[in-house]
């Protein structure tokens, strides 16, 4: 599936101390009526939760990091799911580092608490990205 859109509004902002990172990005997209976008962020978290998709079991497993970490990179997108057409869905992956510089990463999950950070969200216009269940992978993919 290939879709072509054009950059629309560009938002840059500060993340709220103590907020859930995924929930805050999702709420921002909803507030601005964004249905398709590219998202990136940097900063630090008080604690983090990342996921890894087990392809054989077709389910996510999660890692909990109960300590402060730096956000080296957060890259993702905004689209909508077929079962919730009016609600933005943020899909992001994050790379984090600990106090010794070791890097960890995965699918950004709820339970990642912001210490400080900045984000950029570039809206895409003229494109509709809808996630639907994919029988081959068990994931909700664009289709």
Tell me: the pLDDT tens digits for 78-124? 999 999 988 999 999 999 999 999 999 999 999 999 999 999 999 99
b/e code 46-56 from CB counts within 10 Å (16+ = b)? bebbbbeeeee
Q: How far is 88 from 138, CA to CA, in rounded Å?
A: 20
| pLDDT higher than threshold 90 for residue 8 | yes
Q: Would you call 20 helix, strand, or coil by DSSP? A: strand
Residue 62 belongs to a domain = yes
Could you tell me the pLDDT band of residue 65, with boundaries at 50, 70 and 90?
very high
State pLDDT tens for residues 119-138. Answer: 999 999 999 899 999 999 99
Output the CA–CA distances (angstroms, integers) from residue 13 to 9, 65, 72, 132, in the order listed: 13, 25, 17, 30
CATH of residue 48: 3.30.1330.80
Nearest to 133 by CA among 123, 118, 143, 122: 143
pTM listed for this prediction: 0.96
| pLDDT higher than threshold 90 for residue 10 | yes
Return the percentage of the chain with pLDDT > 70, whole number.
Answer: 100
N-term to C-term CA, the chain: 6
- Other beta carbons within 10 Å of 61: 11
Residue 112 belongs to a domain = yes
Q: How far is 104 from 126, CA to CA, in rounded Å?
A: 35
Residue 90 belongs to a domain = yes
Residue 42 belongs to a domain = yes
Tell me which residue range forms the domain holding 104: 8-142
Residue 3 belongs to a domain = no
Residue 92 belongs to a domain = yes
Q: How far is 141 from 139, CA to CA, in rounded Å?
A: 6
Residue 2 belongs to a domain = no
Count structural domains, the chain.
1
- The half-sphere exposure of 59 on its side-chain side, counting CA atoms within 13 A, is 3
């Amino acid at each position: 599936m290939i879709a072509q859109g054009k950059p629309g509004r560009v938002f840059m902002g500060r993340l709220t101390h103590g907020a859930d990172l995924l929930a805050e990005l999702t709420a921002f997209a909803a507030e601005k009526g964004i249905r398709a976008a590219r998202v990136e962020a940097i900063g630090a978290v008080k604690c983090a939760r990342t996921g890894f998709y087990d392809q054989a079991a077709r389910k996510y497993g999660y890692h909990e990091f109960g300590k402060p970490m730096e956000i080296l990179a957060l890259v993702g997108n905004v689209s909508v799911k077929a079962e919730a057409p009016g609600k933005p869905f943020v899909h992001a992956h994050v790379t984090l580092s600990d106090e010794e510089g070791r890097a960890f990463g995965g699918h950004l999950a709820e339970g990642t608490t912001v210490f400080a950070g900045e984000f950029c969200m570039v809206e895409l216009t003229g494109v509709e990205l809808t996630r639907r269940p994919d029988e081959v992978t068990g994931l909700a993919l664009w289709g």
